[in-house]
Structure 1
Amino acid sequence: MAQAMLDDFKHALVNQNLAASGQCLVQMAQYIGWDEVAFNADISNHHLPVDEKGQYLARSMGWSPDILTEWENRRLAEDCPVTQACKRTMAPFYWDVGGSEAWDVGALREEQKNALRHYSSYSGAGVTVPVHRPQGRAAYVTWISRSKDQAQQLYSDHRDLLFLAAHYYVQWFDERYDHIQPEKPSDKVNLTARELECLTWASRGKTEEEIGMILGRSQATSRFHLRNAISKLNASNRTHAVAKACSMGLISSCF
């Protein structure tokens, strides 16, 4: 049964874009019995993964903009006990929002407790599968339940399946979409106000001609600023530049 579920999951991912892949992960989680699922592409990067359009991947997985905005603005990943635990183990682990036993860190700091309080609005417990890659990079998939008892039972019943599905998803992600993911903010990226303005309008779907009209400039001028931004961000095209600018916090049209 577990192998059939995993095979179906693999088949569903074939030729999907990133947003659709997140929906596949959600369907897998719900079929097993989890209420939510979360994915982090790089635990050393405190920005959330984005899709091809620069929108948070978690949006396609059912997470609300308010939850994601709070996560980013309060920089909860820096104090998240789940993220910290992923740095210490390669094995799946159960956790809940009510105690510190699962974290193996002793008494939690107040900042860590605040991160758990953030979780408590939509979860009771979960199972996180760390996925460590070469060069020291690590990702994780977290399967979430509103019930602690249910989470423990699902973990007991499906530990191997959760482990394999998480590892397969990260492998699939790395092969196709890792290049568009958030990068750590860099002081070396110094976009002008006009370049940021053009990128912001591009993130809202405006063409070069439309951007020129909005700014009272020619299409050639808007193209010039966009090309400069693409070059400074070391991006391959306009979409890639928008995704990188959003993930680095340079523009705020990620929703």
Structure 2
Amino acid sequence: MLKVDNITAVRIADAQSVRPAAEAFRRIVEELGDFRIAACHNIAMKEPMVDATGAILASDVFGWTSHQNDRWWQNSRIALDSPLPAACRYTSEPFWCNAHGIHSHQRTAFLEKIDLTKFEARALTKAAIVAPVHLPFGQVGAVSFSPGDPECDDMSEAYAAFGDELGIYARTFIASYVPVMCRAQRVPAASHLSKREVECLRWAAIGKTDFEISTIIERSRATVRFHIHNASLKLDAVNRSQTVFKAAQLGYIGLNS
């Protein structure tokens, strides 16, 4: 049963509390079942999660050994080749997966299209429960819970019993780690785009030229350029592409719309 005290225990307040929170996370998860935790605060980066002294949490707290196959955070192909982070890019809900499919409470067409060939070699496990953690500025973290038994390839019962609970602990742990231990994003905190600036950027994001945008919104090209330039100044962007990117990071525009 989900306990408020457990959520509080895995929440990180400052650098000194990273290790105690990680240790609490491991203890809580071990009480639920025989799981191995693999936590990543940003699937796009190689840097592992560390405590205040720089010790790597994966090996020092979560029990991954010095054996080469266990040092998953040193594998540069994981982020691009493994189906686990691939699935995390397309859903924000916990799921479990094996070589036969990616399973979640809600059917998602994107997940059904992910390549699962040579699953074990690419995911470094036969099965796992995975909790994606979508953060501000487009950052995606993830925590996977693989079975202690390396031969286990079915986590359907564990997912049904603990999937949502593990997801809450994972999100609390990762979301509180990032502002404490990671460098701040280079996006002005007080930036506020106008309705017209957002409208121009929304069309620019799908490839429309200034001329095409001017026709759509019934304004001159100079006006379109003016709004996009103003947006770039507010977002501290160096060009049109970065302006669109930062606007998407802040949720002003949706790149999938």
Task: Tell me, yes or no, whether TM beats 0.5.
Answer: yes
User: Are the equivalent residues in 1 in contact too, given 2:41–2:140 (CA < 8 A)?
Assistant: yes
**In structure 1, distance between residues paired with 2:12 and 2:77:** 34
| TM-score, normalisation: structure 2 | 0.57
**What does residue 42 of structure 2 align with?**
42
Task: Name the counterpart of 2:122.
Answer: 115
Q: Name which of 78, 81, 85 aligns with 2:80.
A: 78
Give the match for residue 243 of structure 1. none
- 2:91 aligned counterpart, secondary structure: coil
Structure-1 separation of matches of 2:122 and 2:153: 18
1:83-122 map, 5 Å: 83-96=85-98, 98-102=99-103, 103-108=111-116, 114-116=121-123, 118-119=124-125
Partner of residue 169 from structure 2, selected from 155, 162, 165 = 165
Give the alignment of 1:179-190 within 5 angstroms: 179=183
Tell me the residue number matched to 2:53: 53
Q: Comparing both structures, which one devotes a greater share of its residues to helix?
A: 1
Change in CA separation of 1:171 and 1:71 when aligned onto 2, cut-off 3 Å: closer
Partner of 1:242: none
- Alignment of structure 1 residues 137-216 onto 2, 5 Å: 137-145=139-147, 146=149, 147-149=152-154, 151-179=155-183
Amino acid at match of 1:11: A
C-alpha contact (below 8 Å) 1:92/1:127 kept by paired residues: yes
Distance 1:11 1:35, change over 3 A: closer
Taking the aligned partners of 2:23 and 2:52, their CA distance within structure 1 comes to 15
What RMSD in Å do the two structures reach over aligned CA positions? 2.7
CA deviation vs aligned residue, 1:62-87 (integer Å, no higher than 9, x gap): 01122354651453332111001100
Alignment of 1:58-69 (within 5 A): 58-59=58-59, 60-66=61-67, 67-69=69-71
Could you say what secondary structure the match of 2:31 adopts? helix
Shift of 1:157: 1.4
Deviations 1:32-54 (A, max 9, x none): 11321110000111343233333
Deviation of the 1:105 alpha carbon: 2.6
Q: Distance in 1 between matches of 2:173 and 2:145?
A: 13
Residues 54, 126 of structure 1: alpha-carbon distance in 2 compared, 3 angstrom cutoff:
same
Larger radius of gyration: 2
CA offsets 1:182-205 (integer angstroms, 9 cap, x no match): xxxxxxxxxxxxxxxxxxxxxxxx
Determine the C-alpha separation between the residues in 2 that align with 1:178 and 1:77. 19
Distance 1:106 1:165, change over 3 A: closer
Task: Give the aligned partner of residue 28 of structure 1.
Answer: 28
Map Cα deviations across residues 219-250 of structure 1 (whole Å, 9 max, x no partner): xxxxxxxxxxxxxxxxxxxxxxxxxxxxxxxx
How has the CA–CA distance of structure 1 residues 99 and 48 changed in structure 2, closer, same or farther, with 3 Å as cutoff?
farther
Query: Counterparts of 1:56 and 1:85 in 2: how far apart (Å)?
Result: 25
Cα distance, 1:109–1:137 mapped onto 2, change above 3 Å = same
**Conservation of the 8 A alpha-carbon contact between 2:127 and 2:146:** yes
Q: Secondary structure of the residue that 2:97 maps to in structure 1?
A: strand
Structure 2 unaligned segments of length 5 or more: list them: 104-110, 185-257
Q: Spell out, residue by residue over 1:83-130, the C-alpha distance to the aligned partner (whole angstroms, 9 max, x if none).
A: 01100111111112x3345552354356x66313x32xxxx4221111
Name the aligned partner's letter for residue 177 of structure 2: F
